[in-house]
Amino acid sequence: MNLYGVKAIYKFEMARMKRTVMQSVLSPVISTCLYFVVFGSAIGSRMGDIDNISYGAYIIPGLMMLSLLMQSISNASFGIYMPKFSGTIYEVLSAPVSYLEIVLGYVGAATTKAVILGLIILATARFFVDYSILHPFWMLSFLVLTAVTFSLFGFIIGIWADGFEKLQIVPMMIVTPLVFLGGTFYSIDMLPEVWQTISLFNPVVYLISGFRWAFYGVSDVHVGISVGMTLIFLTMCMTAVWWIFKTGYRLRS
Amino acid sequence: MQPDISVKHLNKIYEDGFQALKNVSLEIYPGEIFALLGPNGAGKTTLISIICGIVNKGDGEVTAAGYDIVRQYRKAREAIGLVPQELNTDSFETVWDAVSFSRGLFGKPPKPAHIEKVLKDLSLWDKRNNRIMSLSGGMKRRVMIAKALSHEPRILFLDEPTAGVDVELRRDMWEMVRKLRENGTTIILTTHYIEEAEEMADRIGVIRQGEIILVEDKDRLMSKLGKKELRLQLQHKMDKLPGELTLEPIELSEDGYELIYTFDSQQQQAGVARLLRTLGELDIEYRDLRTRESSLEEIFVGLVHE
């Protein structure tokens, strides 16, 4: 295995995070803080508890998941799209690195960045609301598993995209609505029955539900289903990446 | 001797149906400088890109350093360094980081002394902490070369390396290429500057419409296909060629003051001696004479337009 190659890609991507700390870290942290201020403190103080959890604390897993998904996708898609855009991808394609090593480098860095950001947001939330974590191991496991899955998804978007618009379209037009409608700010039990059924087709519901269970032991769907759905999506993303490299889709002509 | 690059019956058809390479076979040997010439769109970059792993191979076999480029791609690619045609560089990285990144990517452990040597050889040492975006085009080209040399490849592909660089840098690069060859590196060069191939190459390959139409030792090629020209400046204007001279491949210039005699460079000088003797017999005086050999460029133009 070309570990030096994996390390080179990983370090290169992490260096980009350092260079763009305002955009990569500060900006999502500030956005999430605003959610905590508005929904957690201002509006949340006037709302009743959900499943015996204060509203401010209830929305923490969903808001963390929102940032985690967006940052995983954005970091990984940008990471692989930029070399394609600038033409420097020639170097990766001509290097003695396997497909797996390329993915490990790019997706590993995107995952690391997203997890770091998620933990920063978690620490920042403490300034606004009081919360507890019932299952820390599972919380971290969900955090990492989701970051890996959506970094892979972002990697696929980065390869598929042939312009900056396409790079933005999936996170903005698909992922954001799915997160907002996936129980970030509410329990799907609060919805009319028909909308509850429709919500179950939203994969993000399972992620947020599982994550919330790790925090407070309450969930919209059974935690086993949440883990299962995340693994299914992870498998789908891995299959798509395998196919991309097998065919050279948008990488090798 | 086992070739460093071996291409056998290689074809490449792109998805849109365009056949970029047609049954290409080629062998390049260790330590030689091989110049691949051809007009735009002839297939030079496709051939290089396939050998380096950037473009998927069609039918045929390709090995680099004795390793199959598909089945043993790691070994094959470890041996290759590529300087692409386009100036594709990262903008925000420093020169040092960019070159070190390339070395790691090619599976080599860090070796600061080697990176330092490469940067010094390419006059980039003073710029090592500069971001690449702040460098001039010529300096960026040097960075591309430094990246390609970072992992100490035994085969170096230079795809139009001196396109758009100034004369001084071009001379520096030629010097560097010669030094690399002296150290045993095999160099494959594509260029539009035929002068470059003429100056540096040991062997020349000409590709036209995806087919290799000629592979020849440079000196042999020039003597085989080259022409020589003898120009005699006359003392007095001549209105038309005397009958005695019409048997020779000789022309009279428009102003009537110059005789131009063309002959194969392989041909012995007998023709020249005979011509001068005839001029003497006809009392045709001349004040100066000069000879000129056709350049590789003229040979190349002749080949690709056949």
Q: Work out the pLDDT band at A25, boundaries 50, 70, 90.
A: confident
| Chain A touched by B101 (CB under 8 Å) | yes
| Chain A touched by B104 (CB under 8 Å) | yes
In B156-281, alpha helices (H): 167-182, 194-200, 218-225, 270-281
Q: Work out the pLDDT band at B303, boundaries 50, 70, 90.
A: low
Contacts of B88 in chain A (CB under 8 A): 86-88, 90
Identity of residue B101: F
Lowest mean pLDDT across B40-49, B72-81, B95-104: B40-49
Confidence at residue B225, expressed as pLDDT on a 0 to 100 scale: 65
Mean pLDDT across chain A, nearest whole number? Answer: 89
Is residue B221 over pLDDT 80?
no
Is residue A52 over pLDDT 90?
no
Cβ–Cβ < 8 Å for A136, A185: no
B130-173: pLDDT as tens digits? 999 999 888 888 899 999 999 999 999 998 887 777 787 788 88
Q: How many CB pairs under 8 A join A and B?
A: 80
Confidence at residue B101, expressed as pLDDT on a 0 to 100 scale: 95
| Chain A touched by B77 (CB under 8 Å) | yes
Identity of residue A109: A
Cβ–Cβ < 8 Å for A156, A241: yes
Tokens of B251: 């022309």
Confidence at residue B26, expressed as pLDDT on a 0 to 100 scale: 94
Mean pLDDT across chain B, nearest whole number? Answer: 86
CB contact under 8 A, B89 and A91: no
Phi and psi of B9, rounded to 5°?
A: 50, 45
Mapped onto helix, strand or coil, the DSSP state of residue A186 is: coil
ipTM attached to this prediction: 0.85
CB contact under 8 A, B105 and A8: yes
Is residue A102 over pLDDT 80?
yes
Contacts of A5 in chain B (CB under 8 A): 104-107
The answer for residues whose C-beta is within 8 angstroms of residue B227's C-beta and 6 or more apart is: B262, B263, B264, B265, B293, B294, B298
Helices B137-149 and B95-105: crossing angle in degrees, nearest 10, is: 30
The answer for residues whose C-beta is within 8 angstroms of residue B187's C-beta and 6 or more apart is: B32, B33, B34, B155, B156, B158, B177, B180, B181
Is residue A157 over pLDDT 80?
yes
Confidence at residue A212, expressed as pLDDT on a 0 to 100 scale: 92
Contacts of B147 in chain A (CB under 8 A): 91
Confidence at residue B171, expressed as pLDDT on a 0 to 100 scale: 83
| Chain B touched by A9 (CB under 8 Å) | yes
Confidence at residue B289, expressed as pLDDT on a 0 to 100 scale: 86
The whole-angstrom separation of Cα B208 and Cα B44 is: 9
Confidence at residue A172, expressed as pLDDT on a 0 to 100 scale: 86
Predicted structure pTM score: 0.83
Lowest mean pLDDT across A89-98, B7-16, B114-123, B187-196: B187-196
Strands B227-234 and B286-293: antiparallel
B33-45: pLDDT as tens digits? 999 988 888 899 9
Confidence at residue B304, expressed as pLDDT on a 0 to 100 scale: 64
Lowest mean pLDDT across A32-36, B10-14, B265-269: B265-269
